[in-house]
Amino acid sequence: MLLNQLREHVGTAHVLTDEADVAPYVQDWRGRYRGEVIAVVQPATTQEVAAVVQCCAKASVKLIPQGGHTSMVGGATPVGTQRSEGTAPVVLSLRRMNRILEVDPVGNTLIAQAGCVLQTIQEEAARHGRLYGVTLGAEGSCHIGGNVSTNAGGTGVLKYGNTREQVLGLEVVLPDGRIWNGLRTLRKDNTGYNLKHLFIGGEGTLGIITAVAVRMHPQPAMTSTAWLTFDSVDNALACLALLQTMAGDRIAGYELLNQLQLQAVLTHFPSVRLPTDAQAPYAVLVELSDTYAKADLQGLMEDALSQLFERGLVRDAAIATSESQRAAFWHIRHSISESNRKAGMGLSTDVAVPVKSVALFIEQASQAVQARWPKLDIVLVAHMGDGNVHFIPRFSFEEWARIPNQGEVADAVRAVVHDVAVSFGGTFSAEHGVGHVLVKELVRLRSPVELELMRRIRSALDPHAMLNPAKLL
């Protein structure tokens, strides 16, 4: 009955039930979480999304909104669901809703459907001499709707802010199938509660985002990109402080990697060549940008490096002298997720602490983890400029296979890291969201008042918990 209704609304070809057809939608990209579904439905319009939601609501069948399916925490995956037990949901894929709807280079705004790939938005902005400020390793596959639903961060937060700061307006299908049209491009609109913020970071639990209006920025005319190596995280922090003094908001990225992280990239991407010594304990990829075509950013970078060498803070450095070199530097950074997937069973964490505390956090978290699991490698990649540290304790695949209670061990390892982050006034999730993996941590680490408010909001909008069940709350 339900399948026939769905086919009537979106077309038979866009209701997938064959096992081979649904396979890409029911398992996360790292192969860690999966479940069974009734069907995968692919609407092409907001009205079709609304119709699908209404059909599922009437049939009391839960819905999982899904974009590019790049979540690190199982946020868009049907985890552990089974048709035989009546727990299988419908996955609503937004892949067909992938059009740019409007670009305004004067007002610096862009409107896109939620299934639009992030890279497509970046390229469209560039065609108009503009820039969309969110840059991620998964930008070739993640969707803008998913970015908004998880309040995605990335490498440009230091200069442009995270996704929340880019969003001007939203179109959302509510859990009862009604459509809220808040797709405004206004910078000022002080007319009551700003409802868009309920859905930004809501992980698809409050409504299904179908279109997004975002800010654009002037396209940088000049950049300077450098690869620096350090003996300590403290020295990398001192370098950041000096650059902030000298370059201010020209700093567009400041990414920290440790030696083990770089070794993983070199192992699994043999064509990669590091710009400097591979034996350094830490490396930083730093980029400056400016919209002024005559800005001497290379000179600024050279002056900063000269001071850093004089103070004994930097071990080695290389400045990109061409666009191809700059791209090669960034290729190293954007190869991390895939190399880590191949290198072992990494229990990724996504903490944020005050920037001044990054070095102490890394030291104390490393000590805490290795006190209980002394053989674990610690892989580090950090958006250091905004205090976001991906602290990754890593088992070999062989070691992990020998652990009988894998879920309990994974939870315990992450909890140790999270507790250290919280002790510094930090958070256990900076940009990846809560998803399926961190639901227990949200309950453990957030106050009763916060949890009550979040539950009341979810209950008000989705009283039967029809959207993205068992996620976030």
Instruction: Check residue 236 and give its pLDDT.
Output: 98
Q: Give pLDDT tens digits for 169-217.
A: 999 999 999 999 999 999 999 999 999 999 999 999 999 999 999 999 9
Q: Is residue 473 part of a domain?
A: no
Over residues 127-132, mean pLDDT: 97
DSSP string, 287-348: EEEES-TT--HHHHHHHHHHHHHHTT--SEEEE--SHHHHHHHHHHHHTHHHHHHHHSEE--
Residues 193 and 250 in one domain: no
Residue 447 φ/ψ, nearest 5 degrees: -70, 155
Which of 287, 315, 337 is where one domain is finished? 337
Q: Is residue 299 part of a domain?
A: yes
163 in Cβ contact with 152 (< 8 Å): yes
User: pLDDT grade, residue 375 (50/70/90)?
Assistant: confident
Instruction: Check residue 310 and give its pLDDT.
Output: 97
Range of the domain at 53: 2-93
114 in Cβ contact with 97 (< 8 Å): yes
User: pLDDT grade, residue 278 (50/70/90)?
Assistant: confident
Residues 324 and 228 in one domain: yes
Any residues with CB less than 8 A from the CB of 98 and at least 6 apart, and which? Answer: 113, 115, 116, 117, 120, 143
Residues 143 and 75 in one domain: no
Type of residue found at 343: A
- How far apart CA 405 and CA 400 sit, in angstroms, is 10
Average pLDDT for the chain: 96
User: pLDDT grade, residue 293 (50/70/90)?
Assistant: very high
Q: Is residue 467 part of a domain?
A: no
Q: Give pLDDT tens digits for 206-253.
A: 999 999 999 999 999 999 999 999 999 999 999 999 999 999 999 999
Rounded percentage of the chain residues whose pLDDT exceeds 70:
100
Q: Is the pLDDT of residue 297 over 90?
A: yes
Instruction: Check residue 137 and give its pLDDT.
Output: 86
Encoding tokens for residue 390?
């991906």
Residues 360 and 292 in one domain: no
Residues 237 and 331 in one domain: yes
Give the number of other Cβ atoms within 10 Å of residue 456's Cβ: 10
CATH of the domain at 267: 3.30.70.2190
Instruction: Check residue 277 and give its pLDDT.
Output: 83
Q: Is residue 162 part of a domain?
A: yes
Residues 235 and 326 in one domain: yes
CATH of the domain at 148: 3.30.465.10
Instruction: Check residue 133 and give its pLDDT.
Output: 96
Instruction: Check residue 231 and give its pLDDT.
Output: 97
Based on the structure, what is the number of domains in the chain?
4
Instruction: Check residue 211 and give its pLDDT.
Output: 98
